[in-house]
């Protein structure tokens, strides 16, 4: 595949390196002459100096035949505009934008960017997972379907302990899919499964019912 990367900072550099290792044809566009020189010394001549939102530059590098266009500068606006030009002027089939402000995720979708990667959200999710006291952890968003996979841990004094799954009034749209217990094999809960303290429950829910699900399971 021919992949164009906008931005030769740390993200762009390591991304290009990984893509090259996978055998792709990669080209980086970077504004800064020193960064451009560094990349060309390290990775071979794959970086040109220029502005990734300039039609002239994009024409020069043959954006029309690119299979993928990835904008990873530190500025959300530059990533948005570069991707929009790639999409609408050069008909690149897949455009990916890095975003720093998580609120921009919805806006970028609405403005036609195929995929957004929010570094802030990724780091936040990792932190949530690492902090054991966090009552509900987001594991995965099911893109475009309004569903998410979450993890809830049953605290030691929760009133839910000893209750069967069928006795819980789970909010509509939420389903418990897996129970993980120490020293036991993870199992798919049935209506008659009894909850125990320390159970890790993997559930599918909607963003609207997430709060209700947490309350039902943790009894708080």
Partner 1 sequence: MNVVIMGCGRVGGRLAGLLDIEGHSVAILDTDSYSFRRLPADFAGTALVGDGMDEEMLKKAGIEEADAFVAVTQADNRNIMAAQIARHIFNVPKVVCRIYDPLRRELFSSLGIEALTPTTTFAQMLKDKIEGVEE
Binding site for partner 1 (CB under 8 A): 53-56, 75-78, 80-81, 84-85, 88-89, 101, 103, 107, 110-111
Q: Which is closer to partner 1, CB of 47 or CB of 80?
A: 80
Q: Measure CA of the first residue to CA of the last residue in the chain; give whole Å.
A: 51
Closest of 105, 68, 104 to residue 86, by C-alpha: 68
Q: Which is closer to partner 1, CB of 56 or CB of 133?
A: 56
- Residues 220, 161 contacting (CB under 8 angstroms): no
Beta strand ranges found along the chain (DSSP E): 2-6, 25-30, 47-49, 68-71, 94-99, 115-118, 136-142, 147-153, 175-180, 200-205
Q: Taking the complex as a whole, how short is the minimal distance between the CB of residue 122 and partner 1, in angstroms?
A: 21
Q: Taking the complex as a whole, how short is the minimal distance between the CB of residue 81 and partner 1, in angstroms?
A: 4
Q: Taking the complex as a whole, how short is the minimal distance between the CB of residue 189 and partner 1, in angstroms?
A: 40
Q: ∠ CA(66), CA(69), CA(70), 5° rounding? A: 150
Dihedral of alpha carbons 126, 127, 130, 131, sign: negative
Q: Taking the complex as a whole, how short is the minimal distance between the CB of residue 102 and partner 1, in angstroms?
A: 11
CA 190 to chain centre: 31
Q: What is the largest CA-CA distance in the chain?
A: 67
Q: Which is closer to partner 1, CB of 40 or CB of 121?
A: 121
Q: Taking the complex as a whole, how short is the minimal distance between the CB of residue 63 and partner 1, in angstroms?
A: 13
Q: 199 — phi, psi (to 5°)? A: -60, 135
Q: Taking the complex as a whole, how short is the minimal distance between the CB of residue 164 and partner 1, in angstroms?
A: 44
Q: Which is closer to partner 1, CB of 68 or CB of 85?
A: 85
Structure tokens, 31: 């504004």
Q: Which is closer to partner 1, CB of 77 or CB of 129?
A: 77
Q: Which is closer to partner 1, CB of 67 or CB of 101?
A: 101
């Amino acid at each position: 595949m021919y992949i164009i990367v906008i931005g030769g900072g740390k993200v762009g550099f390591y991304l290009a390196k990984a893509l090259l290792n996978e055998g792709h044809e990669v080209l980086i566009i970077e504004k800064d002459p020193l960064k451009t020189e560094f990349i060309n010394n390290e990775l071979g001549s794959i970086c040109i100096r220029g502005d990734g939102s300039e039609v002239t530059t994009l024409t020069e590098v043959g954006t029309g035949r690119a299979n993928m266009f990835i904008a990873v500068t530190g500025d959300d606006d530059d990533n948005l505009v570069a991707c929009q030009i790639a999409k609408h002027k050069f008909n690149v089939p897949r455009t990916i934008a890095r975003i720093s402000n998580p609120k921009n995720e919805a806006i970028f979708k609405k403005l036609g960017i195929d995929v957004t990667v929010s570094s802030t959200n990724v780091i936040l999710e990792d932190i949530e997972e690492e902090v054991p006291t966090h009552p509900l952890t987001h594991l995965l968003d099911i893109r475009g379907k309004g569903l998410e996979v979450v993890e809830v841990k049953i605290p030691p004094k929760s009133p839910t302990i000893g209750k069967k799954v069928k006795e819980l009034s789970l909010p509509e749209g939420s389903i418990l899919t897996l129970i993980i217990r120490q020293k036991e094999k993870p199992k798919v809960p049935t209506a008659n499964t009894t909850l125990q303290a320390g159970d890790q429950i993997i559930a599918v829910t909607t963003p609207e019912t997430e709060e209700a699900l947490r309350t039902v399971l943790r009894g708080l």
